[in-house]
Amino acid sequence: MNTRTLPGHEEMLRAFQNRSARYDGVFFTGVRTTGIFCRPVCPARKPKPQNVEFFATARDALYSGYRPCRRCRPMEPAGSPPEWLRGLLADLDADPSRRWKDQDLRERGLHPDRVRRWFQRHHGMTFHAYGRARRLGLALEQIREGVGVSTTAYQHGYESLSGFNEAFRQLVGDAPRSSADGLVLQVTRVLTPLGPMIAGGTDEALYFFEFSDRRRLERQLDRLRARLDCTLVPGGNLLLERTAAEVAAYFAGSLQRFSVPLVAPGTDFQQSVWEELRNIPFGETRSYADVARAIGRPTAVRAVARANGDNRMAIFIPCHRVVGSDGRLTGYGGGLWRKQHLLDLESGVSQAGLFADPES
């Protein structure tokens, strides 16, 4: 059985009854009357409190005789697209320039409202808005490569240059020509055992990596846009694929140090704090005061805490390894339960000796 500490019983019960997405990945609920186990967010009718028990992992629930729920699919990573949507997503990735209509969805046996709701929940925009953003992202790349604006507009299905310019301005905030030299960050979701995360980067480096439900996420991205004068567009590239692969290896317990290149814009002070965070060994923790002393600013404990909170590179810049002076967990943008999970994961891997030198 998994030894990871779970939240209190009453806390988990409230989260399950309220279908709290913030606890997705923290625990699984077994329903004694049906023999099924579910995620906290399961849309099925909730059983009576006396008929449930909680598990740290899906594996624990399976070993206790429960079978996975068919509605919330607890064996899949949180945020995974449902089976009925996967064909559409595959076609969208294969041809992101295609313009989809509601009739196209109906011909595939999909109800447009159902597709819209899923995209709004997981991407913060409708399916059609997502498709437009993908097309405009491709258009921006073409313009930056020297293709004419008019040619690009008609290649991407716009019947008028004015319509293309207006759509482009809504996405980028500027006209196509003046945006040709700007930085473009491709943005995609990365599924993890702690819920979906948002990754953004170029072909050369990762610029942010955060939990998709973090409350300050939008503010962080706005600051990043302002600092870099960049454009965020849905899409992917080889570096983001590499990012997802390394994150998967980390959660599987087979990766201790990331190799993805990072660009983390910030003040000189923030940079010094973030660099020190990367020096904290895997499986260990430091206090805010420890970090302040390490960067030569022993009285700047509160400023270190603020820099910790301003980190846009969750896990890669391991702010989760910083705790209070008494060892207690303190603020974490993704939620303290996630911080505890990450520390438990790293501590368990280190104790298992998975990274010991085989020659030693």
Q: Which residues contact 324 (CB under 8 A, 6 or more apart)?
A: 287, 288, 330
Q: Is 27:55 a contact under the CB 8 Å cutoff?
A: yes
Residue 319 falls in the annotated catalytic set:
yes
Catalytic residue among 42, 69, 72, 319: 319
- Count Cα atoms within 13 angstroms, Cβ side, for 130: 21
DSSP string for 108-127? TT--HHHHHHHHHHHHSS-H
Among residues 223, 185, 182, which one has the least CA distance to residue 207?
Answer: 185
d(CA 133, CA 123): 12
The pair of structure tokens assigned to 331 is 């603020």
d(CA 30, CA 10): 15
Buried/exposed 8-28: b ≥16 CB within 10 Å, e otherwise: eeebbbebbeebebbbbbbbb
d(CA 10, CA 54): 11
Hey, which residues are catalytic here? 319
